[in-house]
């Protein structure tokens, strides 16, 4: 992934969300443009949560909406990112151990989110130049489950948080294509065999 590089969000004092337009596809090849793998906020509504929302309620929102991450807002400003992994992992316990709070029910999104100045992002030009397979490799290499995409603004406008990349979603999109290819591969007799169908199912299950 030579043309794309990570940038710290601390480089920007703040960012806003873009205007929305319309939606994208399902199956991807590793060589397809990475831009097809993102949740583009000009096409899909960004899912957001207030930093004061209780974490179990936020997790319930994610389950209801079918997402694993939400942008965290404070008075219409993006202040961080919260994922289901943050809520279900060690962060809540670590917060209780290092704070004066005593009950899990008191923990808010803002307590366990990744704050804005600790996030990493890709710039929009980097996404446009990258390939889907390279993007997944970058996420895996950096140990990231989600990644913001930022479209720099000009002197008059703040930079825009243009999109969000989900490693799980991208892996599923690529695996579905692999599964379909395996299912359609001919066996030794020239027909799509059960062996290939079983292999396709295994790939699909592994990516869920």
3-state secondary structure of 20: coil
When mean pLDDT is compared across 8-17, 86-95, 146-155, the lowest value belongs to 8-17
The pLDDT value recorded for residue 155 is 77
CA distances from 79 to 5, 12, 16, 32, 191 (A): 22, 12, 11, 32, 54
Per DSSP (E only), the strands in the chain are 6-8, 39-40, 48-50, 69-74, 77-83, 114-115, 120-123, 146-151, 160-166
Tokens representing 45 are 């509504």
CB 66 within 8 A of CB 88: no
> What is the predicted pLDDT for the residue at 14?
81
H and E: helices and strands count for the chain = 8, 9
Which whole number is the average pLDDT over 19-32?
A: 66
Return the CATH number of the domain spanning residue range 8-207.
3.10.580.10
Percent of the chain with pLDDT over 90: 62
| φ/ψ (deg, to 5) at 12 | -110, 135
**How many other CB atoms are there within 10 angstroms of residue 159's CB atom?**
20
Distance, in Å, from the CA atom of 32 to the CA atom of 50, rounded to the nearest integer, reads 35
Among 67, 27, 24, residue whose Cα is nearest residue 200: 27
Q: What is the pLDDT of residue 22?
A: 39
Is pLDDT larger for residue 95 or for residue 177? 95
- Asked if residue 48 lies in contact with residue 70, where contact means CB atoms within 8 angstroms, the answer is yes
User: Mean of the per-residue pLDDT values for the chain?
Assistant: 83
Tokens of 145: 């489950």
Residue 161 scores a pLDDT above 80: yes
Q: What is the pLDDT of residue 76?
A: 86
Task: For the chain, give the percent of residues with pLDDT over 70.
Answer: 78
Q: What is the pLDDT of residues 89-105, one digit of tens each?
A: 999 999 999 999 999 99
Among 84-93, 121-130, 169-178, where is mean pLDDT lowest?
169-178
State mean pLDDT over 54-77. 95
Q: pTM of this prediction?
A: 0.74
């Amino acid at each position: 992934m030579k043309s794309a590089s990570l940038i710290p969000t601390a480089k920007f004092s703040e960012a806003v969300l873009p205007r929305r337009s319309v939606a994208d596809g399902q199956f991807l090849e590793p060589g397809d443009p990475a831009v097809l793998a993102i949740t583009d906020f000009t096409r899909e509504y960004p899912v957001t949560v207030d930093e004061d929302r209780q974490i179990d309620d936020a997790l319930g929102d994610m389950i209801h909406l079918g997402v694993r991450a939400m942008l965290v807002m404070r008075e219409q400003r993006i202040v961080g990112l919260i994922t289901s992994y943050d809520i279900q992992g060690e962060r809540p316990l670590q917060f209780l151990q290092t704070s004066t709070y005593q009950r899990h029910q008191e923990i808010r999104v803002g307590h366990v989110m990744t704050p804005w100045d600790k996030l990493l992002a890709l710039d929009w030009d980097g996404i446009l130049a990258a390939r889907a397979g390279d993007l997944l490799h970058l996420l895996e290499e950096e140990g990231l489950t989600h990644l913001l995409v930022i479209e720099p603004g000009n002197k008059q406008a703040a930079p825009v948080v243009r999109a969000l990349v989900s490693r799980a979603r991208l892996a599923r999109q690529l695996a579905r294509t692999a599964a379909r290819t395996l299912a359609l591969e001919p066996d030794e007799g020239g027909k799509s065999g059960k062996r290939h169908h079983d292999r396709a199912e295994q790939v699909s299950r592994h990516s869920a």
